[in-house]
């Protein structure tokens, strides 16, 4: 059986959590392949709204095993809070949730280093979620990290102490004052590690290979978005992992030849949290309306998300890099009633019209060229089938499919699991 992938095609928060939850009934296993608690994946069903951070979005389905892959970074403190948040659902998560021994651990000092690094950057800050993501991946690639499997070893606390001491020295190198009480943070951290150890640790690449041989269906869940990818995103305003399709291979131990469908998710407009270039960003009433109607506030940090028109240049780029086979368009309902819609179809770049994403998309270099569409006026949120779609929405979808040369198979018309319309 092939492994299907689901990933975000913009700057994150496209609605990955919702769609993984919707698709999970078709899968035996859902596996997260990168990122950490910088993610906030929102699920809504039966009047409940729940945000997941590290735990895969298949957790609410009875017969699905949820794997946290080797490419993920885990903060035991946040993870335990997530587990506690699941208590009210009466899930047997000890059976349904398993962790790769090769996943790296976020230490309290990683979070402090993140804060020191961001503060020292001043106006040039990345706008990190401050969850310690960058420093933890730095220790991973620097070959200093502590992994889930290390927690089973007798000497891991010694290694922890050496690394934490090094981090404290590094914090001192940043010319900023960071207030912290490490003994308090460590108390919370070590208690959380004990809770983490109650879960099952596995060699997840072996588990997933065996599962495939046994004919199990697997969905790989991405976090963040392709434009936040460490290589292909808007560097340095990116996260520290491979958010694109290749990340599923390195983050789960799945071979490229084993990848099946690549589901790419995008909003009918664009949002971004944190710093960095955003060519189609709106600073007018239309942007404010998208933010208000779309409730565009970060699921993790509560920060307002910047809003703008759909950027087809960027979307084509991320579809190509990921090899997307099916598209899913989210939040079209938010645009109902807009007078008109715009889509950026090319950029004016240093006086020349281009249709690819150049090395530098800072505002001084790039000016979007727009195509304007009439917007649909009808409320989409109660619709249940494609035949109810207004003409303007069908025209918008047809235009995007033609430009991207990939079918839009799902149109989401609201946050609830049920507000999902499949197009054949």
Tell me which stretch binds Mg ion (CB under 5 A): 124-132, 198-206, 230-238, 291-299. Answer: 291-299
Q: 299, 335, 393, 411: which one contacts Mg ion (CB under 5 A)?
A: 299
Token pair 């030849």 in the structure block, residue: 257
- 13 counts as catalytic: yes
Residue 13 lies near ligand IMO (rule: CB under 6 A)? yes
For residue 40, state whether it binds Mg ion (rule: CB under 5 A): yes
Region of 12-20, 64-72, 79-87, 281-289 interacting with ligand GDP (CB under 6 A): 12-20
Distance separating alpha carbons of residues 148 and 414, to the nearest angstrom: 37
Per rule CB under 6 A, is residue 41 in the interface with ligand GDP?
A: yes
211 binds ligand IMO (CB under 6 A): no
Contact between 56 and ligand GDP per CB under 6 A: no
| Position with the least CB separation from ligand IMO | 274
Give the one residue of 4, 5, 12, 151 binding ligand IMO; rule: CB under 6 A. 12
User: Is 150 annotated as catalytic?
Assistant: no
CA–CA dist 21, 61 (Å, integer): 8
DSSP-derived letter for residue 164 is H
Quick check: helix, strand or coil at residue 134? helix
Question: Token pair of 302, please?
Answer: 């509560």
- Residue 18 touches which of ligand GDP, ligand IMO, Mg ion, none (CB < 5 to 8 A by kind)? ligand GDP
Distance CA 18, CA 340 (A): 27
CA atoms of 42 and 18, how far apart (whole Å):
6
Q: Cβ distance 237 to 123 under 8 Å? A: no
Q: Is 299 in the site for ligand GDP (CB under 6 A)?
A: yes
Q: Count each helix (H run) and each strand (E run) in the chain, helices first.
A: 12, 20
User: Dihedral sign, CA of 188, 83, 14, 355?
Assistant: positive
Asked if 15 is part of the footprint of ligand GDP (rule: CB under 6 A), the reply reads yes
Chain-centre distance for alpha carbon 149: 25
Those residues whose C-beta lies under 8 Å from the C-beta of residue 140, and which sit 6 or more positions away, are: 73, 104
Annotated catalytic residue within 4, 21, 28, 41: 41
Least Å distance, CB 422 to ligand IMO, is: 23
Could you say which of ligand GDP, Mg ion, ligand IMO, none residue 129 binds, taking C-beta under 5 to 8 angstroms by partner kind?
Answer: ligand IMO
- Binding window for ligand IMO (CB under 6 A); candidates: 71-79, 102-110, 223-231, 410-418: 223-231
Q: Nearest Cα to 219, choosing from 100, 8, 65?
A: 65
Q: What is the CA radius of gyration of the chain?
A: 21
Q: Annotated catalytic sites, by residue?
A: 13, 41
Name the site residues for Mg ion (rule: CB under 5 A): 13, 40, 299
Name the site residues for ligand IMO (rule: CB under 6 A): 8, 11-13, 38-41, 126-129, 131, 133-134, 223-225, 228, 237, 239, 273-274, 299
């Amino acid at each position: 059986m092939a492994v299907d992938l689901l990933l975000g095609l913009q700057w994150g928060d496209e609605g990955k959590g919702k769609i993984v939850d919707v698709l999970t009934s078709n899968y035996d296993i859902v596996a997260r392949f990168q990122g950490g608690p910088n993610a906030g994946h929102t699920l809504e069903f039966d009047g409940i709204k729940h945000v997941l951070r590290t735990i895969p979005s298949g957790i609410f389905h009875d017969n699905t095993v949820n794997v946290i892959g080797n490419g993920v970074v885990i903060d035991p403190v946040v993870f335990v809070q997530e587990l506690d948040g699941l208590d009210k659902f009466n899930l047997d998560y000890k059976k349904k949730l398993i962790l790769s021994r090769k996943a790296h651990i976020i230490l309290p000092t990683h979070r402090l280093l993140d804060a020191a690094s961001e503060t020292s950057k001043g106006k040039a800050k990345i706008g990190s979620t401050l969850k310690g993501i960058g420093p933890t991946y730095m220790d991973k690639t620097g070959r200093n990290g502590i992994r889930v499997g290390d927690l089973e070893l007798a000497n891991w606390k010694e290694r922890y102490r050496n690394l934490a001491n090094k981090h404290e020295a590094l914090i001192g190198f940043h010319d900023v004052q960071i207030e912290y009480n490490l003994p308090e943070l460590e108390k919370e951290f070590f208690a959380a590690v004990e809770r983490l150890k109650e879960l099952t640790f596995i060699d997840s690449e072996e588990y997933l290979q065996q599962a495939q041989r046994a004919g199990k269906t697997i969905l790989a869940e991405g976090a963040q978005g392709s434009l936040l990818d460490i290589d292909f995103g808007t560097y340095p305003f990116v996260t520290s992992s491979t958010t694109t399709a290749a990340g599923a291979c390195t983050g789960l131990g799945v071979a490229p030849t084993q990848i099946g469908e690549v589901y790419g998710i995008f909003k009918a407009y664009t949002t971004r949290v944190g710093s960095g270039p955003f060519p189609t960003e709106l600073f007018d009433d239309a942007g404010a309306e998208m933010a208000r109607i779309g409730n565009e506030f970060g699921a993790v940090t509560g920060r307002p998300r910047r809003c703008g028109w759909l950027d087809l240049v960027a979307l084509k780029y991320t579809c190509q890099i990921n090899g997307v086979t099916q598209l899913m368009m989210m939040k079209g309902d938010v645009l109902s009633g807009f007078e008109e819609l715009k889509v950026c179809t090319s950029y004016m770049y240093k006086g020349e019209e281009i249709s690819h994403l150049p090395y530098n998309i800072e505002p001084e270099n790039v000016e979007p060229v727009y195509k304007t569409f009439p917007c649909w006026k009808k409320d989409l949120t109660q619709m249940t089938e494609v035949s109810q779609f207004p003409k303007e929405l069908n025209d918008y979808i047809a235009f995007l499919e033609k430009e991207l040369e990939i079918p839009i198979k799902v149109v989401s018309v609201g946050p609830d699991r049920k507000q999902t319309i499949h197009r054949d």
